[in-house]
Each structure stands twice: as structure tokens, then as C-alpha cells.
Chains A and B, each alone.
Chain A
């Protein structure tokens, strides 16, 4: 091997050594099954909605025991703000933003109850209970009736009143800034 070739090879070796040290590759591979308890986000496509079901009738008792102290009887008048009412008021100066009047997707309601509620014991509800409470909030808003069973399929059939009430600013359109 010529000296030239040898020095070229050693340069390549040094370069690759630097490259590998700057890309540490310290992440440990993990399976989606191992991530199951963390992977709780539910997008509007409903992918990841768990098995289970519930109705507003079942949700009413759960509401009184878990939610009412902060969110009020029937979802109104509680210290943490109304979740019910205000549908059709968004153009008014004294509009009311609630789950019923403002939230565009029912999947967000399921996601948020399961993720963060009740405030002092998030994650304590079963998936059946989350479906039932989701159904209760939707029923109080007049979006479904009290006997409608919500599950991974029927939740996707719910169209929220303000579904088309948003204009997306990403990416920023020319002249809209």
C-alpha cells in the first residue's frame, strides 16, 4: 500500500470516528407495546381509541362524584368554568366558550378527560368511565342523547357544533400575518 493510500485511509478512519462520536446513538430501542401506558394522545382520526363504552346515563353518577365540585351541576356554574351551553353565541360580544359551543373534536374531550381528569387523580378512571363522562358532557350540550353508547366507533360519528369554526394559521399564508 502506498503511503498516500495509507494516509487517505487513516483520514477516513479519523473522520468516521469523529462522526460517530458526534452522533452518540445512546437511545435504547423500545416497542410500541412498551409505550402503551404513555401513548394516550387521540387525534381526530380516532387512532388509538381504546375498547370500552359508556352512556350519559352511566356518566351522570360519575359526574356527580368526580367532576361536579369544580365544573358544576350539569356542567354549569362551577368554579373551574362551564363545559355546557353557549352554542351559537360565538359571534356575540358576550359569547360563551364551552366544550359544546367551541371544541371542534369529540376526540379531544376523550383525550383530555383520560389524560388529566379528575384534577386530583388523573388516570384513575377506567376507559369505560371516560367514555361515559364524554357521553355525559356531550349529552348535556344536546349533541347526543342519554342512551347513545359511545365507543371507539360511535365517538367518530359525533360532529361537534363548532367543527368548522377554525382557520389554521400554520403554515402562515401570505398577507395574513
Chain B
């Protein structure tokens, strides 16, 4: 059934204040697009013309396809951490979340975080070593690894510093991607690390490993062996079906579903099996959470349950009153997303959003809900719950143990203020 203007949601269909329409109405409408086209459909169309591209043959094939030139504004905004000439290549670029749909992040738009630029690695010369507390130290080439049985796993990778702009005292006016886009979601294909550790023979008293990259920073993190043995650690060679991009760790990276991004070590050159963590620079001076009492939490690996509304959001603003689709993404490092609620009145009332019924574990999950906006000011929030029962906290709740400049593992609720003219801005509630 495709909706007509006569099937616009009545006030009985409203699930919460501010025009949030019950998800049942949208589900009953069958096609989301059909329902959403209900507003403004009485305007009479002009007579159709045949465009130029329908009158002449198009372009030839290409070796590697590129997006339409009309989509050239869909890019990763980059942020250098230091002035020009200082630490060049060390920085971040953000996935433009608000310009994407579905759940998979295209490879060219997947966020970046480099600690010393992107190494240009010749795969024929790259080598990967397993050593330390093992029976046999082993060295592998890329060609070797390509001959092992592989697994595929769709999961997100999120920088532990994601949403860092919301750690500032005043809300920053940036897009959803520029605030929350240090995350991407992809299908990773590669060799289970456990398979290679078994080949080397882990000694029974081993409990940790060190993973180290081949970049100029030799980025290194300690990882509990339990994550590798019990869970799903993969040495990924492919991302979304093609070989990794250089900025994602070509020719190989570690993927640890649900855990801090920097532990998913790129350009992986070495795994050393150990009996204790190394306390590297990036697990002591960084990626630790300093609390008000002066004590810092360390080894807080799992990324918390989180969500963000990507439409409406700054730059993705409602232009006229009527029915709109609220859409966004949710995720949790602990497992599957079970529920996402939306509020249009700053958290006084909530409505359940439509969430994928069978979401992948530790992966981006899309949610949506119809919104009957009457040009009234609104404060839009989304609040995710995962299968362990963990609920996304408010910003003030999240900050209780921390001073406001603590920026790691920021998973608090994002509030978007919508003005009566449709402008969307970042606010703290």
C-alpha cells in the first residue's frame, strides 16, 4: 500500500510529543518512501522533456569506477592535529555520516586516524612475524596469508576519541560526521589470528600479545589473549570485498570487533605473545580516562552503546513543515543493538524507532522514524540500548566521573536543536 495525503498520520498515531509518529504507522504504510512522499504531493508536475543523456550514447567503461561528479562534495573532512610542518600526516579525517545511508561505509569514505602518516608499503616486501612466548617464531608474507582459509565479518571500527568535540565546554557547530564520524562499518575478510597463533604454538602461561604496525610510529598496543582466543580477531586483507586501502592498513591490519579503534593495528608487522601488557605510549598517555579523583581508567577496550541522528542534523535540515524521516545509526561494542528511542522534546517523551530486527553484532545498525514537523522548535535526541541492556547515557550523566575535557569513550546522547525555521544546531542538554 502506498500512502496518499488522506493517510497522513492522525494525532492518534503520534507516539511522543513534538510530532513523532508511531513506528506502526510507518510500518503499515509498507514503503517508507511512499509514506514520506505524502506531503506536498498535490503540486502539479510540468510536462516531461527528454534530457540530453537520453539522446546520445554515454561514456566508455573504466578500470576502477568513481562516484558521480555530482557527488563530489561527499568527502572526508580532515583535521590536522598540529600546524603545517609539525607532525605532518598525523591526524584524523571523518566519515561523513550524514551523507550516507544504510550501514556500510564506502572504503574511500572510511575515517582515518594516523599517528605518523600513511606508509606506502610494497606488499611483496611486507612481512608479518609472530614470536615471543610461542613454541616456534614464524614469519609470513602477504602471499602466504592469502592462501589460508578466510572468514568475513561485518563490524564497525570506532576511534576511542570519537565525538571528542562534544567534550568541549561549549557545543561545537559541526556536522554529524565532523562530531561523530571517527567510525566506519565494513565487511572485513582475512585470516583468523588464532589460526596463525596455533601454528606458532602459544605457550600455556601466555596471556597478552603486543600488536605493532609497520608505519613510522610503529603504532603498538597490548591486547589480552582472551580477545583473540575467545572472540573474533582477524588479520584483515580485504575491506568490503577489495584489498585494504593504504590508509586502512594495506596490506594487512588487525580487526578486533567492538574494541577501541587504535587496537585494530594497521600495517600489521608483528604480534609478540607475552605474559603481561607492555604499557605502550598509546595505552598509558593516551586512550586512558582521567577521572575527577585523579585516577585514570586503563584498558577500557569495549566501545560503549551509542547512536546519532544523521537526518535531520546540521546541514541536513528540514526545509518545510510536514512529514520527514528521522534517520540515524546506532552501534555497540558489546553486541547487537536491541532498541533505539527518539525524543523530539529534549527527553521528556520518547518513541521507539524502527530498528533492523536482525542486526549484526558490533556493527552499525540503521534506525528511522516518521516525524510530522509543524515548524515548531524541537530538541531531537536518540537513545540506544544494546542486547546486554546497556543504555546510552546523557552527556551530564556520562561526565559525572570525569572533568569536561576527558574525551575518550564519549558515547553520550547527541542533542540537535531544530529552530522554527528548520536550522539544526548542536546543543548540550
Contact B138 A28 (CB under 8 A): yes
Bound Cα distance A170, B131 (Å): 23
A172 to B299, CA, bound (A): 9
Residue in A closest to B269 when the chains form the complex, CB atoms: A38
A103 B285 Cβ-Cβ under 8 A: yes
If the complex has contacts A115-B220, A122-B218, are A43 and B297 also in contact, measured as CB distance less than 8 A?
no
**Is there an interface contact between A27 and B294, defined as CB atoms closer than 8 Å?**
no
Tell which of B226, B284, B301 touches A104, judged by Cβ atoms closer than 8 Å. Answer: B284
Contact: A102 with B285, CB < 8 Å? Answer: yes
At the interface, yes or no: B104 with Cβ under 8 Å from chain A? no
Contact partners of A38 in chain B: CB under 8 A: 129, 212, 269-270
- The residue of chain A having its C-beta at the shortest distance from the C-beta of B83 within the complex is A79
Which B residues are CB-close (under 8 A) to A27? 130, 136, 138-140, 144, 196, 199-200
Whether A28 lies near B292 (C-beta < 8 A) is no
CB distance from B351 to the nearest CB of A (A): 27
Contacts known (A80-B87, A166-B298); A26 close to B140, Cβ less than 8 A: yes
Closest to A107 in B: B279
- How many contacting A-B pairs (Cβ < 8 A)? 157
Say whether B284 contacts A169, CB under 8 Å: no
Is A157 an interface position by the 8 A CB rule? no
B288 at the interface (CB under 8 A from A): yes
Chain B residues lying within 8 Å of A148, measured Cβ to Cβ, are none
Q: Is A30 an interface residue, CB under 8 A from the partner?
A: yes
Q: Which residues of B contact A40 (CB under 8 A)?
A: 218
Q: Does B277 contact A (CB under 8 A)?
A: yes
Residue of B nearest to A104 (CB): B284
Q: Is the CB of A35 within 8 A of B137?
A: yes
What mask results when residues 97 to 117 of chain A are scored 1 for a CB within 8 Å of chain B, else 0? 101001111011001100110
**Given B199, B217, B277, B285, which contacts A99 in the complex, CB threshold below 8 Å?**
B285
Residue B147 interfacial (CB < 8 Å): yes
A168 to B298 Cα, complex, angstroms: 5
A35-B129, A95-B290, A108-B284 are contacts. A119–B390 as well, Cβ < 8 Å?
A: no
Q: By the criterion CB–CB under 8 Å, are A115 and B138 in contact?
A: no
Task: Tell me if A44 is interfacial: C-beta within 8 Å of chain B.
Answer: yes
Cβ of A5 under 8 Å from chain B: no
A167: chain B residues within 8 A (beta carbon):
295-298
Chain B 198-218 residues near chain A, CB threshold 8 A: 198-200, 210, 212, 216-218
B124 in the interface, Cβ–Cβ < 8 Å?
no
Total number of A residues with any Cβ neighbor in B under 8 Å: 51
Once A41-B210, A111-B281, A165-B295 are accepted as A-B contacts, the answer to whether A25 and B116 lie under 8 Å apart by CB is: no
Give A38's nearest chain B residue, CB to CB.
B270
Q: Are A42 and B278 interface neighbours, CB within 8 A?
A: yes
**CA of A44 to CA of B279 in the docked complex: distance in angstroms?**
7
How many Å lie between the Cα of A104 and that of B280 in the bound state? Answer: 10
B280 to chain A, nearest CB (A): 7
Closest chain A residue to B270 by CB distance?
A: A38
Chain A residues 37 to 59 lying within 8 A of chain B, measured CB to CB, are 38-45
Instruction: For the complex, give the distance between the alpha carbons of A30 and B428 in Å.
Output: 55
Question: Is B395 an interface residue when CB atoms closer than 8 A count as contact?
Answer: no
Smallest CB gap from A109: residue in B: B281
Q: Which residues of B contact A122 (CB under 8 A)?
A: 116, 216-218
Least CB distance from B405 to A in Å reads: 8
Task: Determine how close the nearest CB of chain A comes to the CB of B270; give it in whole angstroms.
Answer: 6
Complex partner residue of B299 from A35, A69, A168, CB under 8 angstroms = A168
A78 to B153, CA, bound (A): 43
Chain A: minimal CB distance from B283 (Å): 9
Q: Which residue of A lies closest to B300 (CB)?
A: A169
12 new A-B contacts at CB < 8 Å, known A28-B138, A95-B294, A115-B218: A27-B199, A29-B136, A35-B270, A43-B274, A44-B279, A104-B284, A107-B279, A116-B116, A116-B281, A165-B296, A169-B297, A169-B300
A-B contact pairs, 18 of them (CB 8 A): A23-B198, A24-B147, A26-B140, A26-B144, A26-B145, A35-B131, A39-B270, A40-B218, A41-B212, A79-B83, A80-B82, A103-B285, A108-B281, A116-B281, A165-B296, A166-B295, A167-B295, A168-B298
A-B pairs, top 10 by smallest CB distance, nearest first, are A27-B138, A170-B299, A91-B294, A90-B294, A26-B144, A112-B281, A30-B139, A166-B298, A43-B278, A116-B217
